[in-house]
Chains A and B, each alone.
Chain A
Amino acid sequence: MPILKTKNLTKSYKTKKGIVHAVTDVNLSVEKGEFVAIMGQSGSGKSTLIQLMGGLDTPTSGEILVDEIDITKLKDNQLSKFRGKKFGFVFQTFYLQPFLTVAQNISLPSMFTNSQNLSLDRTRKLASILKIEDKLDSYPSEISGGQTQRVAILRSLYNNPAIIFADEPTGNLDETNSIAVLKMLKSINQKLGTTIIMVTHDSRVKQYATRTITLQEGKIT
């Protein structure tokens, strides 16, 4: 049974130049434990697709089924809670909260979900896996780009999500850090069985992904 399935997923925008079809009739099925890489040129709609699947944006039409639940039908608060429990997000520009310490950023999702996972020990344990345990009391502005992305990855992991959506997580990193991030995601995917759906330009991801999907003009090719 697929953990995520889209049916005729479409997203259109109204612009001054007319209607732009970012995603058109995408039908996609992702099995639990898969590492799916979505690739495509700029403007192909891959980021829009991952945002729709992650419930960060609303589709114009179509369905997104996660564990058989159509998240497009959920109310705002229900969707927020659903996201908090089932999804983790890693963004290209990390989006850590500058006023929170590394430890607080990592554990942020559990603050909203009242998760039992929230503890300093757990935070330390996770931080040690990605070797940033000595930075827990630092603020995001005090750590490097690679460390920042590791914090972002740990944040996405904190609630033990079923799916991690990664939107060009290596886009702002150098080669060494990019490879490190890809390895981390692969490791998470293999060791924890977390499903990973990643949007990227980076062709190296093919070595790590179990499946690669290419998007062109909003359609899967």
Chain B
Amino acid sequence: MADRTLNVSQLNQFIKRLVEGSAVLKRVVVEGELANCRFAASGHLYFSLKDDSAEISCVMWRSAAAGLKFMPESGMSVRVTGSVQVYAKGGTYQIVATKLEQAGLGAMFLETERLKRELEKKGWFSREIKQELPKEIRRVGIVTSPAGAAIHDIISAVERRNPSVGLLLAPALVQGTGAAQEIARQIERLNEHGGIDVIIVGRGGGSAQDLNAFNELPVLQAIHDSKIPVISAVGHETDVLLSDFTADLRAPTPTAAGELVSADLGELIDRIEMLRLSMTSLIQGRIRELSQQTDLLAERISSASPEYGLLEKQRRCEALAVTLKTEMNTRLMGLRARLERLSEAVTLLDPGLRLEKGWVYVTGEDGRPVVSASRAQTEKQMTLRFADGSVLVRPVEEK
């Protein structure tokens, strides 16, 4: 059978019919990495889709490209939906894309989860290995993009709180191909540079993909190996990256990181004021103590003076007077006791005691004792008191 000879056009037309007639190639969904991505002036989007070993050209016409929900960039993982079409004139084929989505997020998250488990097992996230921030921070190294929001935020936070803290920026790409390696290298360089007390590693907010460098091993390794304490400050408060777990400290935002490294100047000035007060009170205490010692000495000196002798004599006089008084009191008490004894003796001389021996006690009408005969003459009647009773008597007139 003789070979049928075709011209180029015929061949390409044949291929085109074959390809475009295929039900499979009419609607394909392909995942890969974006490359050579560019918008033409016409608004059409031209790009390639590639993986490790192959590449295919793609085009997205203006009408479809206008509906894109993100800005496609080379290096991104994407999923393309479209049909394979042949350009017969050039003998080339390409995907005419109708849909372009970010892809690989699932794969990225899975890898992050895997790495997280691995590093957790290695103890990279454990509290025990965290370095403390130094008490006094003089200079801060910053690894971030020189054009990003993070460096601005950090600078304004430090400037507001404590402009005496020095900042050294080690600029790095923070997203896209090679970002993780660059960040890691700058952390190492700051370690070698010296004079840095703390390193802030971070960036402003972005998509999960934008932030992903801070989930990658090179960055984590560099943070882990850093001799200088590292603060991770990536994105917004809600963004949590593996760098946050690996770093010695996580700051929710770059602004917060700036505040962490700059002791409030007001507080510093307060501290100096406290030191002034403390020094003053110490020296005043000193002086007070000395003046007390001086008073003591002065007293000792005056005790040796003649005036002090006089005083001493006076004091002795007073003491003697006291002794005297006590002595007198003792004597007085003795006398009083004697007196009591005497009065007892007097009681013993009670007339009642004699009446039994024939003595009588004579009282007049008025009850008063009649002590003489002449007195008795004047009484109309008298009472004679015997030991056992009384007798009323009338004197008999003697003629």
A, B bound? no
